[in-house]
Amino acid sequence: MKRVAGVLILVMLPAIASCQNVRATGKVERNNHAIHTDRQTRGESDALSSELRRKIKTLIGKLGSDEWPERDEAEKELGKIGTPALLPLIDTLGSKDVHVRSKAESILYALKLGETDVIVLEKKLENTEDNISKLIQKLIEKAKTIPSDPDGNFALQVSNQSFAIDPVDIEIRIDGRLAVRDDFCVDDQHSRVRFTFNIKPGRHKIEAVSKKGEAKFEKEFEITKKRHWAVIDYWYYPMDQRGLLMKGPPTPKHLSFRISDSVSKGE
């Protein structure tokens, strides 16, 4: 019986080893397939990027075409491509052809830039000639600016309520991004200017500053699914040189902020 058992053991061991080899081989084959698939995906992506780069290069070349319709069509197509054409277009600003430079600037200003583009632009700014750096700085500021949206969920009204400082400068940022920067006239205290933005629901930080008016504030507010209305006013009522009030009681220089969400979006 021992001999038989030994035979059985000797027969089974190779079988077990064989199963292990099959599993190991299958695992290697699956890994090789995964690696091949990953390489294939990267290859397709690289090929697509190369194709896009060639297309951008070709279109930029057409910006200097002798045929105006071809120039206009190239400008239109580059605008459709969007931010992938950002750096090639910036490089085009060094062109000796004034028409090419003009077209490139026009496309760049029309691009919808976001916060991720700021990093690309700031890196580009480090090694750029002075005549081009000013435009890049404008693009960076644009990328950091919240775009207006007539159908947005956050309507902001801004005004100057002071006859003492007229007009007054007011700059407003939401979560660090520029929303408003302008001079506001008092206009008999009925000059509220409306701005509308689309802001995602959640907690946000709003900052307002007036250098000329020597006032600033920083507050947190919350956006829900409703349409929100907010007001920022600049106030300052000093005593004039004759000891009389210019208008209303004396009021120190300050910016006020209030917000309401009583109106649902779409109403």
Per-residue pLDDT of the chain (267 residues; tens, 9 = 90+): 444 444 444 444 444 444 444 444 454 444 554 444 444 444 444 555 889 999 999 999 999 898 999 999 999 999 999 989 999 999 998 888 888 999 999 999 888 887 788 888 888 888 777 778 888 888 888 888 888 888 999 999 999 998 889 999 999 999 989 999 999 998 866 678 999 999 999 999 999 999 999 999 999 999 998 889 999 999 998 876 445 555 556 789 999 999 986 443 333
Beta strands in the chain (DSSP E): 154-160, 168-174, 177-184, 193-197, 202-210, 215-223, 227-237, 251-263
CA dist 220 and 201 (Å) reads: 13
123, part of any domain:
no
129, part of any domain:
no
Q: Are residues 159 and 257 in the same domain?
A: yes
- Segments forming the whole domain that contains residue 53: 15-112
Q: Are residues 163 and 257 in the same domain?
A: yes
Q: Which long-range contacts (CB under 8 A, 24 or more apart) does 113-119 make?
A: 113/83, 113/86, 113/139, 113/142, 113/143, 114/143, 115/143, 115/144, 115/177, 117/83, 117/86, 117/143, 118/143, 118/144
Q: Are residues 102 and 22 in the same domain?
A: yes
Q: Which of 80, 112, 144 is the last residue of a domain?
A: 112
| CATH number of the domain to which 203 belongs | 2.60.40
Q: Which of 112, 127, 142 is the last residue of a domain?
A: 112
140, part of any domain:
no
Task: Name the pTM for this structure.
Answer: 0.59
86, part of any domain:
yes
Q: Which of 82, 112, 142 is the last residue of a domain?
A: 112
Number of domains in the chain: 2
236, part of any domain:
yes
